[in-house]
Structure 1
Amino acid sequence: MILQGEHISLVPYTLEKCHEIYKQYVSDPMMTEQPYVYSKNIVDLYYQNKAMDSTRIFFAISYEGNIIGEIQLKRIDKINKCGTLSIILTSDSVKNRGFGTEAERLLIEYAFNQLGLETIYADAVHRNVRSRHVLEKIGFEHTYDDEVLAYYKLEKSRYEKNFCEIIDICGNSRETVVNAISENWGSNIIVTKGNIHKAEELPGFLAINNGNIIGMITYHISGRECEIVSLDSFTENKGVGTALIETVKNIAKEKGCNRLFLITTNDNTKAVRFYQKRGFDLAAVYRNAVNESRRIKPQIPLTGFDGIPILHELEFEMAL
């Protein structure tokens, strides 16, 4: 499994990558004053005892094909839905560049959205101001101290709430939504299963962070069914799309809907993975349906992601 970020990726942690990390590792003076000396036997033992522990999940951190550190969730408790975050970067040359923050966010998203954890713990040496700052920036809450360490925790609900504010599309924001959909979808209309949806008429929500729109979702309710018509996230791996879907899901339940569904196209493999990971199931494949949609909306291109011909509509659903 690979967790892909904007600049770095989290890749499977092998014995070879473990050695690659510790051959480069330079001890951090904020952690210890003792210099680190690489030992093959010690690294072998470390890998066997730690990386192979069933209560841990390890990833190597990769930047431009180079391994620059490791990150793990340890003491994973599936009953209490919690675990502890830990990260090591190889040297100062890869610190203060945002790589650690991005790696932690990727693993946090994985822990909350894929592993089903509700709480993540972390700790940092008191004098390691850099690590403490990263934890607090991400949203960890300082809980207590002992003589050596400061302890933190991050609740899933707090993380999602603090990262972005979800607001209704209304008033002045409507024009922004119409313009964004027109730019991202080729025009102000979206066609699904032959039905025309106009951006200016759709209800929906915006995700706001520091005054900036970082995501948007629109939907349409008919009878007891709710369709997600469009979903756009302008920042990756931060849980924005997930938070917007959850908001629409709650609205659909309030309105008495028993089904949430959406339509995507066969080229959009990223969307196919995204929705299935969030509990949607493939309900139907409408072969060559996009050819019919092009008669209504000629702006639909012939090819899409990775040069794949856009031909079919895929319907994904979730029971409410």
Structure 2
Amino acid sequence: MTPPRPLAAADRDAVRRFLAARWGSATILLDGRAIDAAALPGFVARDGDGVAALITLLDEREHCEIVTLDAASPRNGVGTALIELAAQRARTLGLRRLLTRTTNDNLDALRFYQRREFRLHRLVPGAIDLEREADPAIPLIGRHGIALRDEISLIRDLD
């Protein structure tokens, strides 16, 4: 696996395939907006011709949002490296916070982010139920047999 580096135009097709395989699509729903995650800035670690790990980012007024964070082989430190690169990039752009979202069933993500200085920020009850209306392919039951209903935002101050 190569060390993570900024995404380049030459990575876009591989990123689109990786997101489709891991997320079902490169289109991610955020607050009712359809975001093409494959077109966003971010960082990638490659494994031959494929993507080994990826973070995609959306810059907002005062924060940078992590749209996707995924590693083909978890627990090897690359996810943490991607978070730190995203934090450095956000600081360079003058952004004060890093924001991410997950679902109520994603206990692994909640643990991962909190161990990397993110704090619980906001709970949106029923957010996934609303997204399911736009995308019926979103399952009713998520990880660990937990009903998939709510969105949880976590935030990390960069000051």
Does the TM-score normalized on the shorter chain lie above 0.5?
A: yes
Query: Counterpart of 1:256?
Result: 94
Distance, in Å, in 2 between the alignment partners of 1:236 and 1:197 is: 25
SS at match of 1:178: helix
Identity, % of aligned positions: 36
The reply to whether residue 245 of structure 1 matches residue 80 of structure 2 is: no
- Tell me how large the CA RMSD over aligned residues is: 1.7
Choose from 132, 143, 152 the match for 1:305.
143
Question: Displacement, 1:236?
Answer: 2.4
Opposite residue 203 of structure 1, the aligned amino acid is: P
Choose from 64, 85, 89 the match for 1:226.
64
SS at match of 2:147: coil
Query: Counterpart of 1:173?
Result: 11
Q: Contact 2:90/2:98 (CA < 8 Å) preserved in 1?
A: yes
Query: Counterpart of 1:75?
Result: none
SS at match of 2:8: coil
After superposition, residues 99-248 of structure 1 pair within 5 angstroms as: 164-208=2-46, 213-248=51-86
Q: Contact 1:263/1:316 (CA < 8 Å) preserved in 2?
A: yes
- Between Structure 1 and Structure 2, how many residues are aligned? 158
* TM-score, structure 1 as length reference: 0.47
SS at match of 1:309: coil
SS at match of 1:244: helix
Distance, in Å, in 2 between the alignment partners of 1:273 and 1:217 is: 18
Question: Displacement, 1:274?
Answer: 0.5
Q: Contact 1:259/1:319 (CA < 8 Å) preserved in 2?
A: yes
String of CA shifts for 1:42-94, please: whole Å, max 9, x gaps. xxxxxxxxxxxxxxxxxxxxxxxxxxxxxxxxxxxxxxxxxxxxxxxxxxxxx
Q: Contact 1:205/1:217 (CA < 8 Å) preserved in 2?
A: yes
Question: Displacement, 1:183?
Answer: 1.9
Opposite residue 190 of structure 1, the aligned amino acid is: I
Question: Displacement, 1:164?
Answer: 4.2
Question: Displacement, 1:308?
Answer: 1.2
Query: Counterpart of 2:112?
Result: 274
The reply to whether residue 295 of structure 1 matches residue 116 of structure 2 is: no
Opposite residue 79 of structure 2, the aligned amino acid is: G
SS at match of 2:141: coil
- The gaps in structure 1 that reach 5 residues or longer are 1-162
Distance, in Å, in 2 between the alignment partners of 1:189 and 1:179 is: 12
Question: Displacement, 1:295?
Answer: 2.5
Work out which of the two has the higher radius of gyration on C-alpha atoms and give 1 or 2: 1
String of CA shifts for 1:255-313, please: whole Å, max 9, x gaps. 11011101100010000000001110000100011111123333222111112111000
* TM-score, structure 2 as length reference: 0.91
Distance, in Å, in 2 between the alignment partners of 1:297 and 1:257 is: 32
The reply to whether residue 284 of structure 1 matches residue 122 of structure 2 is: yes
Query: Counterpart of 1:15?
Result: none
String of CA shifts for 1:96-155, please: whole Å, max 9, x gaps. xxxxxxxxxxxxxxxxxxxxxxxxxxxxxxxxxxxxxxxxxxxxxxxxxxxxxxxxxxxx
Distance, in Å, in 2 between the alignment partners of 1:232 and 1:299 is: 20
